[in-house]
Every structure is written in structure tokens, then in C-alpha cells.
A and B are shown apart, each in its own frame.
Chain A
Amino acid sequence: MTGGQRPVRGRKLADRRVRVNRPHSPYFRYTGPGQLVAKAAASGPTTPGGRFFARVRSLLFGRPLAFEEEAGERLPKKQALAIFSSDAISSSAYATEEILRVLIVAGSGAILVSIPIAIGISVLLAVVALSYRQVCRAYPNGGGAYAVAKENIGAVASLVAAAALLIDYVMTVAVSTASAIAQTYSVVPGLYDIRVEIAVVAIALITVANLRGLRESGNIFAVPTYLFLALALLMVAMGVFRIVTGTAVDVVQRDAVAFGTHDIGLFLLLKAFASGSVALTGTEAIANGVPAFKPPESRNASNTLVAMAILLGVLFLGMTVVADGFGILPSEEGGPTVVALVATVIFGAGSPLFYAFQSATALILFLAANTSFNAFPRLAALLAEDGYMPRQFSFRGDRLAFSWGIVLLATIAALLLALFEGDTHALIPLYSVGVFVVFTLSQGGMVRHWLAERSAGWVWRASINAVGAVLTFVVLVVVTSVKFLDGAWLVVILIPTLVAMMLFIHRQYARSARELAIRPDYVAGPPVREERVIVPVPGIDRAVIQAINVARTVASDVRAVFIFDDPARVDAVRADWERQIPGIPLVVIESPYRALAGPLIAYLDVLDQAWPPDHPSPVTFVVIPEYVAKSWWERLLYNQSARHLRRLLLGRPHTVVVNVPYRRDDPEAFDSPFRDKHSRPDGPPDAAAR
């Protein structure tokens, strides 16, 4: 790239200097010989409309970021706990209620069983957490279920894990948002009627924040997470104290769900267990995010995981005990949530602590939804890189976010919320199945990992993971069977469908890669095919002349094809052609059926058939003159035939379509005033009009 030069005088007569223009500087930066890096201006819009759109985008999503601006934040344990635990800990806000909603159909006596069920789920939580500690140690680079299953079990198992994870992330957004809105209308009941609208707006806001490149910034997460933890632990402690001291009194609820008359049987118990096991969702988040921890990453991650599991266990069990102690029951549709009722009883309705707790609960649930906005696009990008999802999912947007994944997640979650009318309990049955598929595959993969690695202590480690795998598999079977009719069937269908879709995409990409691959020893030689150029012309005008000039630079064998339906014009066009464009043969095809593209393609076929069979078929360049439209409405008026022809020629063997646009603000190419009675210099040229 050279620049123009301007001499500048110095203080002394002889001290002249030349300032060298650097035309590349606004757009590129040299980083080595023949190596340029594009600056933001190189990707900037060039049209007024594009600039306006870019300004709006910039206001909404922020200015574009370069790769080097990506924050490489390493998290201390306290911040990591807040970031990775919001999903898991927030599930304590609705898990107790899900148990009670199942047990209430069996009458007041059945409610007492909620505590043993909560203890059982807490034991399961402990086993899962212990198992995931092993993942943290074995996969310091992040051991998502997809990665673990891919490495240790196989491609299909990893895709099952991926499909389950994708569903899990979508459900996290839907359930957490629905639950957060439920906390809100527990305080302001009037909001119940517009809960779906609020949920969709909330998801839209989280989407915009993530498209802007919201990172898992420690402080954003730390404040609401620790506020929730502090208030929830305080609430549980105060509640347990009142139960122990005998000052707990049963709450009188006007809108409580009426007790049922069903017998409490094994099915109901299992169903209550399956509903409550939603508390375990999000437990795997820390194992996925080990690289984000400060060194020693594995140890810090596994310690944080233990802390998270203890906190979640205490909160979940505590809330269940307190709800039971005060006789709190789930409310009818639109009533306050169980956790809101517990807060009302402990802190007092309308007290500052009650409002603070409800706000913190809603916030931590929104943050839990936000964690999926980080995880889903990353997993989708990973799958896209492995060729199991469309490549667009691995492309990063202006703000380094995986925009496609974010938008897809938001769309599906919003649709789900609208479909289920923002009802947390209706969504829950779809939630747990995917989570336990992920747990089982991850733990199963870890067993194979230890069996293959056989490092120090492998028997003990493999045993922990084996217990985890078996236990989570049993729960998976239970969850699937008892919730099948409530909606789990959808997930059972969806997981294999997603796996089949991913395998199909992978096969397509693999096939195209095979078709495009070249041998490593291949060296490109000179072209073996001859070239010829066909220029379809609608007469003679500036666009046609320019296209002919371009055609002449491509090959020596150039011919123009004039397809007409008005025989009266032919002689005049031919006479002018021979006079004004000498040396380029004009083939005239009459089209009594008024078609343009059909006869041209037939003519190309005839040319191919006439080619000597012992010679390789030539490359045919079809050079199409076009008139550059300046505005959107001009685009409707011009080049329709050219576009149609281009579409038809796309994919024709050995055919290259070249568009030669004529810009009317560049008329100096035609020195003398252009005179042609067959074209209209003052109006739209023939090439464009057709």
C-alpha cells in the first residue's frame, strides 16, 4: 500500500521532508510482512442507513470489542461461589414447594413426609457433590458432562449429555424467571395477571445485557447471592429456633391448596422425591467452570463445590423444616410462594427484612437464569466447533458474545414461559429429567476415566463416581417414570431428536469437508480447462459496455447473447453492435415465448454439447451487466432479471457467474456523450430495466 506524498519545508532551506500518506492506517494495522489486522473502521458501515443502524446497535449493545479486549478474570473462591452457585442455591426457593404440592393431594398427614424426602434429596446432593469433586480434580480445564462423556464414553453419549444440557439450560432460564416473577407477585399480587409479560421483558433485558457482553462479573453476582444467603440462613435459623422453643404456630392461609384424599403410596412418595430433586439443578456448574478459579484451580473449585452443597443442603432442608413447623402449604394459582410465606411468618409481613428477602430471592433467581446465558451459548459454540451444530453458533458477535446461542436460548425460554403461562410448577416436570441424564453420564464417564487412568487412589475415586452414577441413574428412572405424563415425555422425545439432529448436521459437515479436502501433496498447477465468456445483453448501454470490457479481461472467447421477443429491434441492434462494439460476436436468439433465462441456459447447454468430447469441458463465465440501485426502492425496479438468471445459474457445472455493476456516479469511463437510440441515457438502462 503506497500513499501520496507531500513535501514540507523545514526551518532551514535544505531540511525538507516528505510526509508519507498511510491510507491503510484507519482500517488496518501491519503485524508482519503481508499480515494485516483489521481495525474497527474496516468493519464499519459505509452507507448512511448502515451508519444509523450501527449507531442504534452501539447504543443498545455497546461498541464492538476486539478479541484482545476480552476479560480474562480469575475468581477468588468467595466470588466464584456467588457466580457458580446462584443457579443451585436459588433452587432452594422452589424445591420445598414442589414437594409439598405433590404431598398435599394425600392430606395433611402426608405433609410430614416432606422432611424425610428433603433429607433423602440432601443425601443425594451430598453424593452428587462428592462425585463432582472428582470431576473438578480430573478436569482442571473444565469438565462439562459433554467433555467428560466425549472423552470417556463416546460420541453418542456425549451428544445425549449435550442435548440434556441444552434442555437443562433452557429450563433453568424458564423456571428461574417464572419463580422470580412468582416471588414478585407474592409481594405485589396485582402483578400476577401480567406475569408472562414481565417474564418476557425480564428475559429480553437479560438477553440484551448478555449481547452487550455481560461477563460473570463477581460483584454483580456477589451482592444478591450473599444477601439471599444471609437472609435465608437468618430466616431458617429464626424459624428453627421458634420450632425448637415451641413458639411456632400454624399459619392460617386463606388461599392454600385444599388437602386431597389420595392414599400416600410409593408412587406419590417417589413423585414428591422427583419433584424436590429439582434442588440439585445447577450443581454441575462449578465443575464446568474450574478454569475460572484462581490457582490452585482444582482444589479451590472442589472446596467451593463443597461449600455450595452444604449451603444448598442447609437452606433446602431448613426451609422444608420451617415450612413444616409452621404448617405452611402451597397456595392456589396466583397466591404467594411457600418461601414467601415462610418469610412472612418469620420476618413479618411488610417488614423491611421481608421485602429485602423477597427482592434478594427474585434477584438470585434472575441471576440463575443469567448463568444459562453464559453456559448455553458456550456449549452450543463447542458443539458447533465439533460440527454438531450450525457453524453460526461458534461465531462471536460485536461484543464477543456468542450471539446466536444467546438469541436462541432467549427465544425458546420466552416461548416456553408464554406456553406454560409463567407457571413454575407446570415447567418443573420438564426440568429434572435432563439434569439427571447429565449427572448420570458425567459420573459414568468419570468411572471409565479412573478405570483407564488408574492413578493414585483410583479405586476410591471410581467408587465415589460409581455410587453417584448408579444413584443418579436410579433417580433418573424414577423422575422419568413418575413425571412422564406431567410433561417428562417431552424431554424423552426431545433428547433423541436433538441427538439425531446433531448427528445429521455432523454428517453433512463431514461430507462437505470430504468433498472440499485436498491431498497434502497437491500443488495447484495452471488451469487445465479453457475459458469462455457469455454476456447476456438487453441491447447496448453503458452497463453492457462495462460488462463486455470486463469479459475481455477474463478470456479471449467472448460472445454476447441478445435474447429478444420483438423482431423489429434486431436489425438495428445488430447494426449498432457491429459498429460500436467491434470484435465481439453477437448471438441473437428469438424467444417467441418471451422467456429470457430459459433460452440462455439452453444455449449454454448447446455450447457444452458442441464442445469436443476429448477436451475437458471449458469454464463458462456468464458476465451479467447490472445497474447499481442507490436506494431500496430502486432495487425493486432494477436487476430483477439479472437476479433471476443468477439464481438459475448457481450450481450449474463449470459455470461462474460474474456480476458487473455499473455505477451511474462513475460516468467518466465514457468520455464522449453516449448516444444510442436503443438505450435511454436519461432513464434506466435496458440492462437494469430487464
Chain B
Amino acid sequence: MSENQHPVFNRAVIALAGNASDTRIVHLVAELARPIRAEIVAVHVVEVAWSQPLDADIAGRSEQVQQILDEAEATAEQSKVRLDPVLLQAREVGAALVDEAIERAADLLVLSLPYRKRFGGDFAIGRTIPYVLKNAPCAVWVVREPITEESS
């Protein structure tokens, strides 16, 4: 890809974490997708504890969870791009994201990395990003939010 060209992807899966970074990555991907008419799928995964059945009625009942996807949809609409919102329940967020990206033949998976310095200044990168980086067959972008005084 030349530096002057738009990144080319046909279908991007955006992983929504339910935090402030969601708007940033949806806006970013939507703006990139618009000129090339690429599809966007926004996925939010609700992790279900092993103590509960996988199909327990958790995510469907939560207005907060629905709001995460609805806000992503609204952000994409502001960029005049249609976004397909997907709500999942799974044991492992990373595995669910990778499987969904494969099933939808996505060629890009985008995740956000909230900047949280804990215990002496390391990133709290969690389990999901390393899993996706290791297992996703498509391109993966990890977008770190800007470092501000508050976040550090």
C-alpha cells in the first residue's frame, strides 16, 4: 500500500469495548470506509461467566449493552456510512471476535486500546488484544487512545 493511498479493505470488523475509545475507532474506520465503500461490522461481545449458561438472557436485557452498539451506529451514520451492529455472548471475547471476523470474511479487525497506566506505568492490555493478534487471519489494527493527563 502506498502512503498516498487509502488503506484498502472490503469489510472491517470493529470490536467495541464499551468505552470512550469506541467512538474514536468507529469514526476512524467509517471515514476510511466511505470513499472505498467498504462494509463495517461493529461487534460487542458480552463475556458470560462459566457459572452461567452461554445463552443466558444477559446482553439482550441490558440497555447499557444495546446503547454501545446504537452509539456506534449513530457515529457511523454521521460519516454517512452504514454499520452492521452485532451483539454476541461468549466465554472468551477474543475468540468470539476472531470467529465472527472469519465468518463474515472480514479483511480487517480493529480494536481499541484504552491507555491506562497501572502499577508503575504499564499498559493494561488485557487478554483480548494478544489473542486477536495471534489468531486473527486478517489484518488487525490496534488503536491506542491519545495519552492525556487524566488517563495517565
Binding site for B on A (CB under 8 A): 1-3, 5, 7-8, 10-12, 14-22, 24-25, 29-34
Contacts and interface: CB of A to CB of B under 8 A. Distances in A.
Given A1-B60, A2-B61, A34-B63, A15 B90 contact: yes
Contacts of B69: 22, 25
Given A8-B103, A15-B95, A30 B88 contact: no
8 closest pairs, A vs B, by CB? A10-B99, A2-B60, A17-B90, A30-B67, A15-B95, A29-B70, A20-B87, A18-B89
A24 B66 contact: yes
A246 B4 CA distance: 67
Given A5-B60, A17-B89, 6 more contacts: A10-B98, A16-B54, A17-B99, A18-B48, A19-B86, A19-B88
Contact of B59 (A10, A20, A32): A20
Contact of A30 (B48, B61, B66): B66
A7 B55 contact: yes
8 contacts: A2-B57, A3-B60, A5-B89, A8-B99, A11-B102, A18-B55, A24-B66, A29-B74
Contact of A31 (B61, B67, B96, B102): B67
B85 interface: yes
A11 B101 CA distance: 11
A9 to B, nearest CB: 8
Interface residues of B, number: 33
A18 B88 contact: yes
Interface in B57-88: 57, 59-61, 63-64, 66-67, 69-71, 73-74, 85-88
A21 B69 CA distance: 12
B92 interface: yes
Residue of A7, A16, A24, A25 most packed against chain B (CB within 10 A): A16
B91 A14 contact: yes
Contact of A1 (B46, B66, B73): B66
Interface string B31-71: 00000000000000110100000110101110110110111
B88 A17 contact: yes
Contacts of A24: 66
A7 B85 contact: no
A8 B103 CA distance: 10
Given A17-B89, A22-B87, A10 B95 contact: yes
Contacts of B98: 10-11
Contacts of A3: 60
Contacts of B59: 20
A3 B46 CA distance: 14
Nearest to A14: B91
A30 B71 CA distance: 8
A19 B48 CA distance: 13
A461 to B, nearest CB: 44
Query: Interface centre among A3, A19, A32, by most B CB within 10 Å?
Result: A19
Nearest to B86: A19
Contacts of B87: 19-20, 22
Contacts of A2: 57, 60-61
Nearest to A29: B70
A25 B71 CA distance: 11
Nearest to A11: B99
Contacts of A8: 99, 103
Contacts of A30: 63, 66-67, 70
Highest count of chain B CB atoms <10 Å: which of A21, A30, A33: A30
B85 A25 contact: yes
A20 B92 contact: no
B100 interface: yes
A186 B68 CA distance: 64
B135 to A, nearest CB: 8
Choose among B60, B69, B87, B89 the residue with the greatest number of A CB atoms under 10 Å from its CB: B60
- Chain A CB count within 10 A is highest, among B61, B69, B70, B91, for B70
B60 A20 contact: yes
A21 B64 CA distance: 15
A262 B22 CA distance: 82
Nearest to A6: B55
B45 A17 contact: yes
A29 B73 contact: yes
A32 B68 CA distance: 10
Contacts of B57: 2, 5
A602 to B, nearest CB: 51
Interface in B96-120: 96, 98-100, 102-103
A15 B47 CA distance: 12
Contacts of B55: 5, 7, 18
A11 B54 CA distance: 17
Given A22-B66, A31-B67, A15 B73 contact: no
Contacts of B92: 15
